[in-house]
Amino acid sequence: MLSRASYDMLPPSTAPRQLDPGDEDDGKMILMASQLVRIVSRAVELSAFSWLQKEVNALAQGQKTERGTVHLMRQLGRTALNLRWRICWLESGKVQSDGSDGSGRSRNAYLDRVKTLCQILYVYYSIARRKVPAWTADDGRAEKTVRSKYGDGRPIDETLPHDESLGGFECWLKSGDDMIRDAGFERPFSAG
C-alpha cells in the first residue's frame, strides 16, 4: 500500500509534466485524480472481498484441494502482513495520506476499518491453516515466516499468524512495530 502518490499530466501531443499542487488548475486535477483512485480502489476492495468470501466458503465446505488451500493460506497470510505493516505506519503518525479527511475522528475510523479487515484476514488465515494436513506443514510447504521488503527498507523476516485467539491477534499486530524498526525505518511513537 502506498503512503504517498504523485500524478503526471499526459495531455495529447505534449511532453509529460508533473502536476504542481500549488497551482490552482493542477490542484483541481490532483483532487479529481485522487478521488478517482479512491473510487476505483473501493470497487477493487469490494470485488476482492466478495471473491474472498466465496473462497472461504468453498474451504469451509471442503470443496478446495490441498494445493488450493495452501495457496489461499499463503495469499491470506501475505495480505495480513501487508495490512499489519500499514496499520503500524498509520499509528506512527508519519503517513499523511491515510484515507481520512484529516480529523482525528475520521482518521481513527479509517484505522479501525483497516484493523478490522486485518483481523478478518487473520481469522480466515487460521481457518485455512487448520485445513492444511499436518504432514504438509512439516514438509515446509506451509510457511511460518515470510521474507518481506517494504519500500526502500531492508528485507525482513515476518512471522505469519499462529495463535488462534484475540490475544494472539493483538500480540501479532503489535509485533509489527518491531518489523518497521528491523527494516531500518526510524519511527517516532505517538501518544495517541
Count Cα neighbours of 136 within 13 Å in the Cβ-side half-sphere. 17
**pTM for this entry:** 0.70
Taking 60 as the threshold, does the pLDDT of residue 131 lie above it? yes
Mean pLDDT of 95-119: 74
Model confidence pLDDT, tens digit, residues 38-89: 899 888 888 988 988 899 889 888 898 888 888 898 889 999 999 998 888 8
Taking 90 as the threshold, does the pLDDT of residue 122 lie above it? yes
Model confidence pLDDT, tens digit, residues 160-190: 888 889 999 999 998 888 888 888 876 444 4
Task: Give the pLDDT band (50/70/90) at residue 192.
Answer: very low
SS3 annotation, 39-100: HHHHHHHHHHHHHHHHHHHHHHCCCCCHHHHHHHHHHHHHHHHHHHHHHHHHHHCCCCCCCC
Nearest in space to 80 (alpha carbons), one of 44, 149, 126: 126
SS3 37: helix
Mean pLDDT of 124-132: 88
